[in-house]
């Protein structure tokens, strides 16, 4: 297993936790997922992956779309669309040859009910879901699947950065925003990150070979749509 993130220290700590929990060999690549060199370094470490999880963990806060330049939009397309697509392009030929491949893209539940202030992120993530929808039927005959996980509010550092951004934009306190979000979540809590990991583990399993091209929401009942 190869892990990629920019900070060597936290990356190594995570790798060690995985090694001692599973006994699986884990290597780390301290690099930027959004650079060609970073993705090349990850592929050099693990040239023939059977599983790819694209998790562009960029912290984002809400903003005013009127102020964004073409360069800003291009940045978000790189982060949430092109970096993942390029890795998918690199790994699917080998997966098809080996007749096994599982790819999971991390997105957000809000692609199904977009939020004010997040046009940059929603647009780029929807581009990825759209591109994947057009790819999957060519891959599933080879037992290669691509699915998208759309989380609601999971208790990570990024969540709290995001909630602070909402508080500042709404000119209210962080505590008031937390209370509001918990009230509007039928489950009445933020999820543990392991609940997302469990869903990804299923989608990457041999048992999930008949499921592809799906955008799966896990948000404690916030999203009320049927599809
Ligand atoms: N938490 C939620 O409630 C929630 C909800 C919906 C969607 N999501 C989405 O899920 C994804 C992960 O979120 P999270 O909450 O786990 O975020 P997080 O707590 O901020 O963790 C993000 C991880 O990604 C790494 N990372 C960030 N930028 C990177 C880059 N350019 N290259 C390589 N690694 C990078 C970070 O390490 P380094 O900083 O060391 O690189 C860190 O390990 C994000 O796309 C987020 O938008 C999260």
Pocket residue to mutate for ligand 1, from 57, 154, 217, most atoms within 8 A of Cβ: 57
Domain hosting residue 31, numbered range: 1-47
Say whether both 197 and 147 belong to one domain.
yes
Reported as type and span, the H/E element at residue 195 is helix 193-203
pLDDT tens digits for 194-221?
A: 999 999 999 999 999 999 999 999 999 9
In a domain, residue 106? The reply is yes
Say whether both 35 and 144 belong to one domain.
no
Say whether both 104 and 183 belong to one domain.
yes
Say whether both 65 and 147 belong to one domain.
yes
* C-beta atoms surrounding 1 within 10 Å: 14
Nearest atom, ligand 1, residue 5 CA: 34
Total count of domains within the chain = 2
Say whether both 19 and 37 belong to one domain.
yes
Nearest atom, ligand 1, residue 79 CA: 31
In a domain, residue 146? The reply is yes
The angle formed by the CA atoms of residues 112, 115 and 118, to the nearest 5 degrees, is: 105
Say whether both 132 and 163 belong to one domain.
yes
Long-range contacts of 110-119 (CB under 8 A, 24+ apart): 110/150, 111/150, 111/215, 112/150, 112/215, 112/217, 112/223, 112/225, 113/223, 113/225, 115/62, 116/62, 117/62, 117/63, 117/64, 117/166, 117/169, 118/60, 118/62, 119/65
Say whether both 32 and 123 belong to one domain.
no
In a domain, residue 227? The reply is no
Say whether both 37 and 96 belong to one domain.
no
pLDDT tens digits for 120-170?
A: 999 999 999 999 999 999 999 999 999 999 999 999 988 998 899 889 888
Say whether both 105 and 124 belong to one domain.
yes
Q: How far is the CA of 157 from the centre of ligand 1 (A)?
A: 8
């Amino acid at each position: 297993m190869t892990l990629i993130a920019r900070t060597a220290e936290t990356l190594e700590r995570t790798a060690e936790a995985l090694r001692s929990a599973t006994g699986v060999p884990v290597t780390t690549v301290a690099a930027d997922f959004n650079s060609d060199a970073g993705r090349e370094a990850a592929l050099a470490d693990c040239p023939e992956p059977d599983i790819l999880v694209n998790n562009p963990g960029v912290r984002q806060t809400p903003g005013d779309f009127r102020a964004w330049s073409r360069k800003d939009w291009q940045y978000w397309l790189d982060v949430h669309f092109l970096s993942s697509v390029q890795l998918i392009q690199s790994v699917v030929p080998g997966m098809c040859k080996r007749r096994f491949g599982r790819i999971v893209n991390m997105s957000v539940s809000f692609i199904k009910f977009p939020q004010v202030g997040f046009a940059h992120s929603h647009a780029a993530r929807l581009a990825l879901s759209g591109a994947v929808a057009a790819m999957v039927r060519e891959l599933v005959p080879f037992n290669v699947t691509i699915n998208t996980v759309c989380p609601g509010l999971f208790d990570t550092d990024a969540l709290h950065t995001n909630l602070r951004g909402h508080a500042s934009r709404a000119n209210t306190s962080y505590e008031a925003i937390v209370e509001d979000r918990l009230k509007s979540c039928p489950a009445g809590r933020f999820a543990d990150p392991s609940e997302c990991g469990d869903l990804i583990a299923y989608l990457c399993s041999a048992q999930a070979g008949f499921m592809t091209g799906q955008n799966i929401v896990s948000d404690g009942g916030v999203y009320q749509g049927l599809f």
